[in-house]
Structure 1
Amino acid sequence: MSQNTDVSFRDVYSDGGTDAYPTRLSAGEPQLLDRPDPTVWASAADGPFDRDELAAHARNGYTILEGLITPAEVQGYWQELVRLSADSDLKSDERVVTERSSGEVRSIFEVHRISELVDRLARDPRILDRAQQILGSEVYLHQSRVNYMPGFRGNGFYWHSDFETWHAEDGMPQPRAVSCSIALTDNYPYNGGLMVMPGSHRTFVQCVGETPDDHYKASLKEQEIGVPREDDITKLAASCGIDQFTGPAGSTLFFDANIMHGSGNNITPYPRSNIFLVFNSVENAPVEPFAAGSPRPSFIGARDITPLHR
């Protein structure tokens, strides 16, 4: 049975607690804030990652595992993406986001509720056990989607922290969430692969600007509110550097909710597509948004924290 998690912000913070991650400032200078919460919440005894792997994840904010998904499985998931993108019944579904310029499918959200294959993938112990180990608890899917970046005309995503949006617009209290990106195509340095700033997850970057009503409708195509200033991106790049998620299809990236990341446009002939799963701790249930008038729709930020099981 689904749990009711639409907890009042006032109920949670009536004891005098303060928001450790204030953002979407209307006045004042945005700051780079030290993160008070851990990145890894369990130990090597609690899952498949060993002690060194957990330490590296805590230090860098991400982990790349090549070959986690077999070539045969990749082919099956790729065929599923082709099927979904060609499904005429989905074209008018609000869970489908198209490119602003071309009208081609960019993302399909809540895909685990559309595809049984993706739902099984989210419960696969190779994925689920690692998410539970990093977060130190049972988990649920805060968000799922498939991303398409076609060759020649695939648009990238500007630098951002996912947690900034999930905190501001979904009411996620802490960055106790981890994303899993499973590559269904080869990721080269030149076809729009995801870039991350190692160690940047330890810093919360405040953003400016009030969140408009129904902001998600515009931000899913191109985000303008909730993005960091160029000066702050420059500071983080200087102190953290930039790495890139590359590797053959089947490679899997686990990355912290607060890590600064983005991707460039893809002007090569080689498409880049992935399945994207966001696991949130059941102990980090969403409350009312911290910087928006109302939560985003549940297909973008789930309010149902029923734990995932194998």
Structure 2
Amino acid sequence: MLLSQKDINDYKEKGYLFFPSFLSSHEIIQLNTELSILIKEESIKVYEKNEKTIRSLHAPNLQSVVFDDLQSDPRLLEPAMQLLESEVYVHQYKVNLKAAFDGDVWKWHRDYIFWQKEDGLPKSLLTNVVVYLDEVTEYNGPLMLIPCSHNVEMKNSRVKGDINQNNNEEWLNHLSADFKYTIDNKEIKTLVDSYGIVAPKGPSGSVLFFHPELAHASAPNLSPYNRNIAIITYNSISNTPIQESKRPDFLANKNYSPLKVKIIEKGR
């Protein structure tokens, strides 16, 4: 799929694009079947504070052909290349699982500061592609975005000390509910007063593209319905790290080879 010029202009202005019902129900069933297997296996998982509920599952492409194929799907990869105006590779790939009743908050933040400070990426030449594995409603903790905030300079990102700095797992503090880089509440209010908040909601199979400098967050999931989303972060091949990241490969992929578009079989 190729984006129209209007799509590209909207992305540049607002920082996101949303396409409801983008993937078929059959494809979502396949992805969720694979996810259920990965949850049971020795995959790379981060847990909520209760130490029982899975918060995120990383690098699913390394253990699942279905998830691996998804990152090269032309409906995702071609628009990413258009938005970044170059070939791309995947910097990070994860599934965020906001479990029914127990899925915790993701505080207001921007993604690029993590990739700049922790991984050495020189510019914000990345885009996040979010695939809704479940229906996302106003009740199950939808991703909230502040439109246009990717074009606003922020001064008050709050940096917290590494809770896990003594056990060689500092990266856990980048993924927990109390993660390292967040945005000052006063600055969020100023942004929302100017630009508002949107929360793209839609059925499973919907797809969201958003800029890595866009301020975003999500509330806890108090509903009885899961809100699982796969997030593929594409990086321009012109934006490889100026120094190798110390974080694990599943957080900062060190294979910078450009992805090739997968040919989709007829009738899919």
Asked if TM exceeds 0.5, the reply is: yes
Alignment equivalent of 1:301, drawn from 252, 255, 260: 252
- Are 2:210 and 1:255 aligned? yes
Corresponding residue of 2:114: 165
Partners in 1 of 2:17 and 2:35 — Cα distance?
25
Larger radius of gyration: 1
Partners in 2 of 1:243 and 1:151 — Cα distance?
22
- Are 2:60 and 1:111 aligned? yes
- Are 2:142 and 1:193 aligned? yes
Aligned residues: 255
CA change 1:282–1:113 in 2 (3 A) is same
Partners in 2 of 1:204 and 1:112 — Cα distance?
34
Alignment equivalent of 1:86, drawn from 40, 44, 59: 40
Question: Is there any run of 5+ residues in structure 2 with no aligned partner, and where?
Answer: 262-268
> Given residue 143 of structure 2, which amino acid in structure 1 is its aligned partner?
L
Aligned residue runs from structure 1 range 41-80, under 5 A: 48-80=2-34
Do 1:199 and 1:259's aligned partners in 2 also have CA atoms closer than 8 Å?
yes
Corresponding residue of 1:37: none
Partners in 2 of 1:265 and 1:209 — Cα distance?
22
SS of 1:54's equivalent in the other structure is helix
> Given residue 200 of structure 2, which amino acid in structure 1 is its aligned partner?
F
Corresponding residue of 1:151: 100
Shift of 1:205: 2.4
Corresponding residue of 1:125: 74
TM-score, normalised with respect to structure 1: 0.79
Alignment equivalent of 1:179, drawn from 128, 131, 134: 128
Partners in 1 of 2:39 and 2:160 — Cα distance?
34
> Given residue 247 of structure 2, which amino acid in structure 1 is its aligned partner?
R
- Are 2:235 and 1:280 aligned? yes
RMSD in angstroms over aligned alpha carbons? Answer: 1.6
TM-score, normalised with respect to structure 2: 0.90
- Are 2:216 and 1:216 aligned? no
CA change 1:210–1:72 in 2 (3 A) is closer
Do 1:201 and 1:259's aligned partners in 2 also have CA atoms closer than 8 Å?
yes
1:54-96 per-position Cα deviation (integer Å, ceiling 9, x unaligned): 1111111000011210011111111111111122x33xxxx21
Do 1:185 and 1:248's aligned partners in 2 also have CA atoms closer than 8 Å?
yes
Do 1:204 and 1:258's aligned partners in 2 also have CA atoms closer than 8 Å?
no
CA change 1:247–1:158 in 2 (3 A) is same
Shift of 1:277: 0.3
Do 2:80 and 2:127's aligned partners in 1 also have CA atoms closer than 8 Å?
yes
